[in-house]
Structure 1
Amino acid sequence: MQKDLEDKFLVDFETNQNIAHKICRIYTSNRDAHNDLFQEITIQVWKNYPKFRGDSKFSTWMYRVALNTAISLYRKSTRQLKTQDFDDVAYKIKTVEYDDTEEVQLKALYKAVHQLNDIDKALIFLYLEDKPYTEISETLGISNVNARVKMTRAKEKLKNILNP
């Protein structure tokens, strides 16, 4: 039973690991912090995987776990990630390397997004992922109307940062 769960987790996580990398990119500013956050997200997704009931798509559920992990870790005043050992399953995940080479516009966008608050970062991230408002509201645990209002405000903040 455990082996089947591990195998299913590996397939689901490897297929959707870009979600974790993108969230790490938004919430961190260097490779070490990115790798630490990616590891913590992997741990949290693995620890909570048995609770995934399939009521939503795995990717939607993973967005929620990953965003909650990033937000809660970076709200702490110490800004330090707590790491812990976990089963060998983590070492079986084939990860995609973090790519430092980005176009100038993409770097400017990430720099601007870093200036937003945690919720606005999550909203912009999901928007850039072309997620529909129903999925955004489900992922963030807010109403559809609230997601739209917050998104409009977040876009306006981002626009003001990019074009002062």
Structure 2
Amino acid sequence: VLEYLCKSVVTSMNDSIDSKDEREQALIDVIQAAGLQEFDLIRLLTLARQAQFWRVCEIIYAEKNEYDLILECYLNDGHRRLELFRYIRTLWPALDERERSKVHSKIMDNFLTIIETDSFKAFKLFCIFFQMDLGKVLKLIGKNEKAEYGILKVSKF
């Protein structure tokens, strides 16, 4: 069942996206019905990553308290990338110091991607939520003109 749901059959772009979403939802339904304990999580995670089933990966990472890896799921899932900002704000207060450090590192590793996702929400995340100085944010952006423009444009508000 796992292999069938995780296989990738492409007949057309729209069919592929719809079919992928349906297969991912079917796998989530199977996981919820049987429970994660019924699966070899390493194998399930490998198949889910290959199929780019990021919601399935998120379920597994949540079970293992690997919140930093859940961030990758949001970043890799084009449908849910914008939800990353809400996820971070909701998650942050519940994390202990070690978990916060791991999540913060993952955020900083994906700094430019986060800014390019939504510069206004990224500005609020880095400059207000994490209380980073605008100068530090611009320094981290470096020579990425698109990201720099996006941050400078929204910092005027």
Interval of TM-score (by shorter of Structure 1 and Structure 2): under 0.3
Q: Larger relative contact order (C-alpha < 8 A, sep ≥ 6)? A: 1
When the two structures are superposed, what TM-score results if normalisation uses the length of structure 1?
Answer: 0.27
Higher helix content, 1 or 2? 2
> Whose radius of gyration is greater, 1 or 2?
2
